[in-house]
Amino acid sequence: MLKVIPTILTDNPSELKVMLGRVEEATDIVQIDIIDGIFTNNKTIDPKTLEYIETNLNLDFHLLTKEPINWVESCIHAQAYRITANIEMMTSQREFMEKVQSVGCKVGLGLNYETPIEAVDHSILTDLDVVLLMSIHEVGFGGKQFQSGIFEKIKELDGLRKKDSTPFSILIDGGVKAEVIGKLGSLGVNEVVVGRRLFNGDLRGNIEELEKLAQ
């Protein structure tokens, strides 16, 4: 079953706290986007902000940063459940994966829309918990248009996953709306993240509605 995960992209600690409170009433997991202003022309909160916020949520950090391995410790101190990082400014995918695993955290790698599946280090693919595919052109900003070309990338990635005895999850990030979620589910996508539009109205109800459409 496809799982819909709320995602928070903000540079405002007060807004973060309010949004986390809403998510706690609706589901058990939230993705937090961490953007350093170098990877893309935007900047969000630092993971350290989460050290002082009490929450029962599973915190899934998505690092859009230069050398994300340098952010792992901060994410761990901030109660990380899973850490996923885009590979485009990452020197060593293996070292990043091993760093995250060494502290007992789930780990994933992310790819920009333009980055081919071949760019993932296939020698560690079967050791990952999740592979995140961006489905928008301009990362780091909300409200962008979903790109249907992602369907072919999903098929390619799923083909690789079928060789894995402990298969990783496929997560789609960016512009996901009701009209495409059924297609994503049929292609074997396990998770999608949705930003501010999910928070409009009844958060729990919006999540449940999208998940039903994916069945």
Please provide the DSSP assignment of 91-148 as one string.
S-HHHHHHHHHHTT-EEEEEE-TTS-GGGS-TTTGGG-SEEEEE-SSSTT-SSPPP-T
Specify the pLDDT at position 177.
Answer: 93
> Which numeric CATH code is attached to 3-213?
3.20.20.70
Tens digits of residue pLDDT in 175-191: 999 999 999 999 999 99
Asked if residues 200 and 178 have their Cβ atoms less than 8 Å apart, the reply is: no
Q: What are the boundaries of each domain within the chain?
A: 3-213
CA distance 188 to 157: 10
Write out residues in the chain with pLDDT < 70, as ranges. Answer: 140, 143
Gap between the terminal Cα atoms of the chain: 7
Contacts of 23-26 with C-beta under 8 Å, sequence gap 24+, read 23/57, 23/203, 24/55, 24/56, 24/57, 25/203, 25/204, 26/203, 26/204, 26/207
Asked if residues 130 and 171 have their Cβ atoms less than 8 Å apart, the reply is: yes
CA distance 210 to 183: 12
Q: What is the largest CA-CA distance in the chain?
A: 44
Specify the pLDDT at position 154.
Answer: 98
Task: Calculate the alpha carbon distances from 131 to 17, 22, 77 in Å.
Answer: 27, 27, 23
Specify the pLDDT at position 143.
Answer: 67
Specify the pLDDT at position 166.
Answer: 79
Asked if residues 32 and 50 have their Cβ atoms less than 8 Å apart, the reply is: yes
